[in-house]
A and B are shown apart, each in its own frame.
Chain A
Amino acid sequence: MIVQSRSRAAARAVLAWGVVALFVFPLFFWITVAFKEAREIFDLPPRLANFTPTLNNFNEVFGLSLGGNLVGGGNFNMGPRLWDSIVIAVFSTLLAVTIATLASYALSRMKFRARHHYVSWVLSTRMMPPVAVAIPMFFIYKDIGLLDSYLGVILIHAVMNLPLAVLLMKSFFDDIPLEIDESAVIDGASRWYIFRRVVLPMAKGGIAATAVLCFIFSWTEFLFVLTLTQTGLKTVPVVSSTFVTSTGTAWGNMAALGVAAMAPAFLFVLLVQKQLVRGLTLGSLKQ
């Protein structure tokens, strides 16, 4: 620890907490909205703690009876939509990470013609705004029967994630010294054996970091789910937009869905957190 004066340390702490508050406050306020009655939401000054928490918003959104009767006609039955989101995020992440890991290992280690161009080709697929391909994709999906299916959305999310995932994973593999592979080659290991037994365990952190990014992308993706699904499935970002209606916005319900949607993503990050930190710092220190 570098020695510093007490006042500087204090100033630093205040500043740090200030920055944290700046990021956390919107989240906190959104959560309070989820537990407020509709009339309390826009109270001035805003009620941060002095309100009576209610589960009504959650009851209405998920059609559950969480300690209270359903009032009015509110039952949006969003539970299955949460499930749709989870299925799509998990499987598209699995698909993207699997392909990206294999592809980036090859890009990092194997020599083939035009290898260096591959990376820019891969990246170029992300240079086009998704809106530009949304409509063509709709027609393609309609013709090949992927419209309104889990597989369709999983595929498009995986494809959207691949360039970034490949690039990210490649940098992790590049950080693993080539001598590790060479040493294993001399010991008689095959390429696949080296990949599976030696390199993959070393890249665990990188895989976790990549997976988190893919998961969060898929979890929050709006455009393709909106255009490529109809009635069969919808993910949380798309259905939460339905709370904006011609007669007003159901802020409380939207917040409740948002809070519920945060939970799985949060849980996922928590699960891979240990690997994630290692992944983000991999290569920054000599082993």
Chain B
Amino acid sequence: MAQVSYRKIAKSYGAVEVMRDVELDIADGEFAVLLGSSGCGKTTLLRMTAGLETITAGDLMIGGARVNDRPPKDRDIAMVFQNYALYPTMKVFENIAFSLRVKKAPEAEVKRKVGAAAEVLNLTDYLDRYPRELSGGQRQRVAMGRAMVRDAEVFLFDEPLSNLDAKLRAHMRVEIRQLHDRQGATTIYVTHDQIEAMTMADKIVLMKGGKVEQVGTPDELYDRPVSKYAADFVGSPSMNFIEGEIGEREGAPIFLAEGVAAPLPAPMARHLGRRTIAGLRPSDLHPAENGAVQGTLTLAEKTGADQNLHVRAAGVDIVSTAPRNFQVRQGQHIALAIPPERVHLFDAATERRLGA
């Protein structure tokens, strides 16, 4: 059992506080993704988990034991680095076998474990090569193999795919997730790429400015972002934001801005008159007669399966995802409709989500 728990974790460099009051639980066998823009503290949190950074305050528990003061090797963790950190002077076999060599494991065990890891990672034919003779994806797999032979309870990944090209990245996403499902170890994965987070995670931990912004499943983050920041971070193309006010029409609440009149679910009536920001996902907006958003088309971007319509409305650029066969000319008037329950509302001042 390796549950990872963070209790009031804080981190300071001298007088500069970079992290405060991080409370987080990651269940045994869970795939958790720490997501956030650069400087949000996600990598620092991962490095503290690994024992590469000291923890200024709070308790870090792995498998129920407090490990704040344990050296990395006694924390039962394995880590994969962004630049793979392979040893260039050693062949793939020795790279994977490194932790076993440190432990002075018997030769038979080394052979068996490295062989097994290589088998899983399709590296059997490359064991006799040097890292420089491998492709990016293969190096990535060697780095994972090195973590695998440790039989660790917790796997830590620090932006492992950011050095790969887009196609390979998509491929390795699947491989890492499959590997996780096979091994069953608790995994903490750091990335700034929301697609990686959405596709791989059981649980996403969205961080901002050294604090946890929101924790939830990918669906929860997508459907109920707690703040404008969370809403903006998750989803591609990203959410449209329009500033306006909640008004009333024929007894029902409605979001009003210049050229926008979007009906809201009935319970929103209690926020009547409040300055708000409405968040509209491009995939929820679709062209319709008498739609909530009225504007002119400035650009239609083909993405293959469908197209992104850029619509000038309410003084901002609104993006909507439309079927590829939808015909509209540039400069033409267009109306976009959205179901009332798909409108996300955030307080204009605090940028927090408004509950029904």
**A residues adjacent to B (C-beta < 8 A):** 177, 179-180, 182-189, 193, 198, 201-202, 287
Contact = CB atoms under 8 A, between A and B. Distances in A.
Q: Which among A180, A185, A187 has the highest number of chain B CB atoms within 10 Å?
A: A187
Contact of B102 (A179, A187, A201, A287): A187
A187 B146 contact: yes
A186 B78 contact: yes
Contacts of B73: 185-188
A201 B98 CA distance: 15
A202 B85 CA distance: 12
A184 B82 CA distance: 15
Interface residues of B, number: 24
B132 interface: yes
A151 B252 CA distance: 97
Contact of A187 (B82, B98, B131): B98
Nearest to B98: A187
Contact of A179 (B51, B72, B81): B81
Contacts of A185: 52, 71-73
B88 interface: yes
B83 interface: yes
Contact of B88 (A187, A189, A202): A202
A287 B95 CA distance: 15
Contact of A193 (B79, B102, B132): B102
A189 B87 CA distance: 13
Nearest to A184: B98
B169 interface: no
Contacts of B77: 186
B192 interface: no
Interface in B141-195: 146, 150
Contacts, number: 55
Given A187-B150, A193-B102, A182 B89 contact: no
Contacts of B79: 182-183, 186
B103 interface: yes
Given A188-B73, A198-B89, 15 more contacts: A179-B81, A179-B85, A180-B85, A182-B50, A182-B52, A182-B85, A183-B146, A185-B52, A186-B52, A187-B99, A188-B72, A188-B103, A201-B89, A202-B87, A202-B89
B85 A183 contact: yes
Interface of B: 50-52, 71-73, 77-79, 81-83, 85, 87-89, 98-99, 102-103, 131-132, 146, 150
B87 A287 contact: no
A42 to B, nearest CB: 55
By Cβ-Cβ distance, the 3 closest A-B pairs, closest first, are A188-B73, A187-B99, A179-B85
B34 to A, nearest CB: 18
Contacts of B85: 177, 179-180, 182-183
A88 to B, nearest CB: 32
A188 B78 CA distance: 10
Contacts of A179: 81-83, 85
Contacts of B98: 184, 187, 189
A183 B103 CA distance: 15
A193 B101 CA distance: 11
Contact of A180 (B50, B51, B87, B103): B87
A185 B150 CA distance: 13
Contacts of A287: 88, 131-132
Contacts of B102: 184, 187-189, 193
Q: Which among B51, B72, B150 has the highest number of chain A CB atoms within 10 Å?
A: B72
Contacts of B87: 180, 184, 198, 202
Nearest to B95: A183
B104 to A, nearest CB: 10
B52 A177 contact: no
Contacts of B82: 179
Q: Which among B50, B78, B83, B103 has the highest number of chain A CB atoms within 10 Å?
A: B83
Contacts of A188: 72-73, 99, 102-103
A194 to B, nearest CB: 9
B294 to A, nearest CB: 52
A198 B150 CA distance: 18
Contacts of B71: 185
A6 B317 CA distance: 56
Contact of A183 (B51, B81, B89, B132): B81
Nearest to A182: B52
9 contacts: A177-B85, A179-B85, A180-B85, A184-B87, A185-B72, A188-B72, A188-B102, A189-B98, A198-B87
Nearest to A185: B72
Nearest to A187: B99
Nearest to A179: B85
A102 to B, nearest CB: 19
Nearest to B88: A287
A20 to B, nearest CB: 32
